[in-house]
Chains A and B, each alone.
Chain A
Amino acid sequence: GEDVEQSLFLSVREGDSSVINCTYTDSSSTYLYWYKQEPGAGLQLLTYIFSNMDMKQDQRLTVLLNKKDKHLSLRIADTQTGDSAIYFCAESTDTGTASKLTFGTGTRLQVTL
């Protein structure tokens, strides 16, 4: 079955880079996603990467995909206090009727001054 793993907590200083890591198990995943959840809110899609790509950059966000090791990472450059949130990686799995997402446990990012 699918399993997505993340470390639970990361603390960085404001202005530093944050790197959040994720490992997944389903090698047939077509898309991999990063979602952000701010306190008391639902999940917001941050970015995604297609499985035939190695890297995707979107302003301060860089996604790296190592398909051989089934490893996904999200780098946030110049981390700000507004980046404090829980970050979830997710892989898509085709069930035959719909694509469903399997989420990791989430990494809580704490940004300190």
Chain B
Amino acid sequence: DVKVTQSSRYLVKRTGEKVFLECVQDMDHENMFWYRQDPGLGLRLIYFSYDVKMKEKGDIPEGYSVSREKKERFSLILESASTNQTSMYLCASSSSAAGGGYGYTFGSGTRLTVV
């Protein structure tokens, strides 16, 4: 069964800490995405990557950075966590070759609380 795996389901961090959220996919997908989900706001795109070492800003990149050193792994980094980054973070991947009909495959999410 193909999967997108996020390393933590729940995470509690202190304000000012550097936080790493990890995502791994086993489908050999070219594209990987990080979204945050907040009630009433839906999913908002933070960053995405279309190839190893390539990245592009999404709609809300401020306060975040990403790293993609290997095709299967896409990391989201909060350089200095703040309370307004408390949210559900969802990772997804997609294939460029498969065509749009397959959409994205999502991980189960990481619920991050910054105190």
**Chain A residues engaging chain B, CB cutoff 8 angstroms:** 4, 6, 8, 30-31, 33, 35, 40-45, 48, 50, 88, 90, 92, 95, 97-106
Contact: B50 with A42, CB < 8 Å? no
List 6 tightest A-B contacts by C-beta distance, closest first. Answer: A42-B106, A31-B100, A105-B42, A98-B50, A103-B43, A43-B106
Interface of B is mostly: strand
Within 8 A of A (CB), among B54-111: 54, 56, 58, 90, 92, 94, 96, 100-109
How many Å lie between the Cα of A50 and that of B50 in the bound state?
A: 23
How many Å lie between the Cα of A30 and that of B4 in the bound state?
A: 24
User: 20 other contacts beyond A6-B42, A102-B45, A106-B43, with CB at 8 A cut-off?
Assistant: A30-B100, A31-B100, A33-B103, A40-B108, A40-B109, A41-B109, A42-B90, A43-B104, A44-B106, A45-B104, A92-B100, A97-B50, A98-B30, A99-B31, A99-B100, A100-B58, A103-B42, A104-B42, A105-B40, A105-B42
